[in-house]
Amino acid sequence: MFSLSPEEQQIIGLSLKVAATATVFSLPPGVALAYLLSRADFPGKALLSGLTHLPLILPPVVTGYALLLLFGRNGPLGRLLDPLGIVFAFDWTGAALAAAVMGFPLMVRAIRLSFDLVDSRIERAAETLGARPLIRFLTITLPLALPGVAAGAVLGFAKALGEFGATITFVANIPGETRTLPLAIYSLIQVPGGEAAALRLVFISVGVSIGALLISEWGARAATRRLAGMG
Amino acid sequence: MLDVSAHIVRGDFALEVSFSSDARITCLFGRSGAGKTTVAEVVAGLVRPSCGRVMLNGEALLDSDTGQSVPVWKRRIGYVFQDARLFPHMTVRDNLLYGPRRSGDPDPALDEAVALLGLEGLLERGPSSLSGGEARRVAIGRALLSRPRLLILDEPLAGLDGARRGDILPYLDRLAREGPPILYVSHAVEEVARLADRVVLVSDGRAVGAEPPDAAFDRPEAEAAAGLTAPLSVLDGRVIAHDPERDATRVDLAGTAFLAPLLHVVPGDRLRVVVDAREVALALTDPVDASFQNRLPMEVAALEVRSDGVLVRLEAGGLRMKALVTRQASEQLGLAPGRRVIALVKATAAARYA
């Protein structure tokens, strides 16, 4: 039977923890930024949109190196956060940060599209009924965009689960700390005789991905059904 | 009291607005595309004019001189959009209660609104399952429940077929009697004639002055603007009695008894009768053996020669009526101001607007 070794369990657990943390922490700013890009008109909007998409275009190694320069122990942001007890360098939190940054453009893009599809005339109707902007957003815009928000979160999660280049550049490949599934597979391939173990992890990786996809699909459908049932 | 004066520019479209009205129902009346909705949107705060002032009950909602502008959600102006705009992710009930929940209204008049608009049985339904007429009624109820100081109805009957109109019209009549003041946007003469206390004619980039419907329809631009094919007399009266045997209702029009088709209204109720000027014939002596049920002694007040004939303005006590006759007929009768004539109106020619 196919049973997981303690080491494999630990790799999977770390991968899920990193991806989930990355998704949970990037979702609120992702939603906010997506809404801003969808609805607001301000100088520098194109620039902000471009910056958001930068990690998608840059080689992941470059993004990872930029993170290292910024958030490393001697980086300007790293030094700023260190006294607060927030450390990213060579820590699993750094892997989560790298995964979040890499998944952010995909997430924002999907959510922004769903905001674009929400009829702004319906939002105006809510205003005439006394809804101030924040309430209008929470009661009308966000519920109507929920399927898209869920899709964005899934994309971000999937990207986080598979992130490699930026992670290994930023926080290296430390067993039990930053060695997620892709990094573990890469390490095993580098060692002679590691192919069999690598193949096991490849299958596990496929399984985890499909599982995550099914759960998200189910979640999105439940959210859509809830909206349809209410509407 | 609604007081609007504004200059609106949108692209190459400019509109000069200036009117004030404390009527129960003020109609913005004009052709499609004349800018009626834009005026309503300025009042609601959905559109900002280049400059101007909007006052409601003495409170400045917009004043470009002081830079003051009350945001839409604080104005407490209900807006029933042409396309209903119900919230698709909520039931009818949640749509109706959206306004009260925002204001924290502890005792929303849901039951009254449901009864007023006939929404029983719709409450748990979703907006996508409603017919056009039902959706409009829900939209009206939703706006009403937010306890607005002014209710804007944008073409509430447009796009509905005859039966669906019949669905909504009685509710509008009740709303007019029991609800908040209404700003009613319409391009349809019959609706305006039926409902308006004051009319603001929107035409050629101008919306100036709120007048009684009779006066508004009397303007030359009203005919061109509103697809009026002939001048109309808009007459306010009161029901005296029904005469079911003759299928008729007797109406008191400013002291003159008038016979109209049988109406389902209670004696004593106010009633509005609209008469097309082409349907009014004139005689010098009373033709007792003719079919005209209304033979009203009146006096010629003024004559206007037009391209399609002569418009004769008639008066009898407080009653004013218009007749459109050919120039030849006018000459034969020797019509002139001060001349006494009998105005002949078939009962069936009187369109009834409660």
Question: Over 90: is that where the pLDDT of A209 sits?
Answer: no
The rounded mean pLDDT for chain B is 89
Answer for the pair A178, A91: CB distance below 8 angstroms, yes or no: yes
Q: Do B87 and A126 touch (CB under 8 A)?
A: yes
Over residues A124-150, the pLDDT tens digits come to 999 999 999 999 999 999 999 988 898
The tokens 């496929």 sit on which residue? A206
pLDDT at B265: 73
Residue B76 and residue B31 in contact, taking contact as beta carbons nearer than 8 Å: no
| Residues of chain B positioned with their CB less than 8 A from the CB of A137 | none
Shared domain for B146 and B45, answered yes or no, is yes
Count of structural domains, chain B:
2
Question: DSSP assignment of chain A, as one string?
Answer: -----HHHHHHHHHHHHHHHHHHHHHHHHHHHHHHHHHH---TTHHHHHHHHHHHHHS-HHHHHHHHHHHHSTTSHHHHHHGGGT---TTSHHHHHHHHHHHHHHHHHHHHHHHHHHS-HHHHHHHHHTT--HHHHIIIIIHHHHHHHHHHHHHHHHHHHHH--HHHHHHH---TTTT--HHHHHHHHHHSTT-HHHHHHHHHHHHHHHHHHHHHHHHHHHHHHHHHHHH-
Chain A nearest CA to B70, separation (Å): 12
| C-alpha distance from residue A132 to each of A112, A139, B79, B99, B181 (Å) | 21, 10, 16, 11, 24
Residues of A in contact with B126 (CB under 8 A): 228-231
Residue B316's CB is within 10 A of a number of other CB atoms, namely: 18
Note whether A130 contacts B46, CB cutoff 8 Å: no
Q: Are residues B113 and B154 in the same domain?
A: yes
Strand ranges, E, within B65-203:
68-69, 77-80, 150-154, 182-186, 198-203
Instruction: Show the domain range for B173.
Output: 2-227
**B256 and B122, same structural domain?**
no
Element (H, E) at B241: strand B232-243
User: What's the mean per-residue pLDDT of chain A?
Assistant: 90
Pairing between β-strand B2-10 and β-strand B51-56 as defined by DSSP bridges: antiparallel
Is A221 a residue whose pLDDT tops 80? no
How far apart, in whole angstroms, are the C-alpha atoms of residue B348 and residue A131?
A: 50
Q: Do B98 and A122 touch (CB under 8 A)?
A: no
pLDDT score at A46: 92
Which of A128, A228, A230 is facing B72, going by the closest CB pair? A128
Q: B128 contacts in A (CB within 8 Å)?
A: 231
Q: Which residues pair with B108 in a beta bridge?
A: none
Instruction: Say whether A231 and B88 touch across the interface (CB within 8 A).
Output: yes
B83-121 pLDDT, tens digit each: 999 999 999 999 999 999 999 988 888 998 898 888 999
Residues B280 and B172 in one domain: no
**Domain end point (choices B193, B227, B261):** B227
Q: What is the ipTM of this complex?
A: 0.84
Q: B135 and B17, same structural domain?
A: yes
pLDDT-derived band of residue A83, with 50, 70 and 90 as boundaries? Answer: confident
- Note the pLDDT of residue B191: 85
- The predicted-structure confidence for A151-174, as pLDDT tens digits, reads as follows 899 889 989 999 999 999 999 999
Testing the interface with A: which of B47, B85, B144 to mutate, by most A Cβ within 10 A? B85
Task: State the Cα–Cα distance between residues B32 and B16, nearest whole angstrom.
Answer: 17
**pLDDT tens sequence across B234-289:** 888 888 888 878 788 888 988 888 888 877 777 888 888 888 888 899 999 998 88
Co-location of B186 and B285 in the same domain = no
Residues of B in contact with A121 (CB under 8 A): 81, 83, 85
A11-32 tens-digit pLDDT:
999 999 999 999 999 999 999 9
- Give me the pLDDT at residue B352, please: 59
Residues B145 and B292 grouped into a single domain? no
Q: Is residue B49 located within the same domain as residue B193? A: yes
Task: Report, as an integer, the average pLDDT of B139-150.
Answer: 94
Last residue of a domain, one of B171, B200, B227: B227
Nearest to A128 among B77, B90, B126 (CB): B77
Same domain, B245 and B107: no
Do B223 and B118 share a domain, yes or no?
yes
The distance of B129 to chain A (nearest Cα, Å) reads 9
Q: Quick one: residue A56, left, alpha or beta (phi over 0 = left, psi -120 to 50 = alpha)?
A: alpha
Answer whether B61's CB lies under 8 Å from B236's CB.
no
Band (A224; pLDDT cuts 50, 70, 90) = low
Contact A128 B87 (CB under 8 A): no
**Shortest Cα distance from B74 to chain A (angstroms)?**
6
> Per the CB < 8 Å rule, is A227 touching B94?
no
Chosen domain end from B174, B204, B227: B227
Per-residue pLDDT band for A94 (boundaries 50, 70, 90) equals very high
* Interface touch A229/B126, C-beta < 8 Å: yes
The whole-number pLDDT of residue B281 equals 93
Total residues belonging to chain A: 231
What pLDDT sits at residue A231?
Answer: 38
Domain A16-178: CATH superfamily is MetI-like (1.10.3720.10)
Residue B354's pLDDT band (boundaries 50, 70, 90)?
A: very low
A129:B98 CB<8 A: yes
Give the domain CATH number at B140: 3.40.50.300
A230 pLDDT more than 60:
no
Indicate the residue of B72, B89, B128 with minimum beta-carbon distance to A143. Answer: B89
- B326 and B290 inside one domain: yes
Share of chain B above pLDDT 90, in %: 53
For the cut 80, the answer to whether the pLDDT of residue A219 exceeds it is no
Query: Which residue of chain A is at minimal alpha-carbon distance from B89?
Result: A231
Q: Which residues of A lie closer than 8 Å to B, measured between beta carbons?
A: 119, 121-122, 124-133, 135-136, 139-140, 143-144, 227-231
B296 and B187 share a domain? Answer: no
In whole angstroms, what is the distance from residue B217 CA to residue A182 CA? 78
pLDDT of residue B234: 86
Evaluate whether B35 touches B8 at the Cβ level (below 8 Å): yes
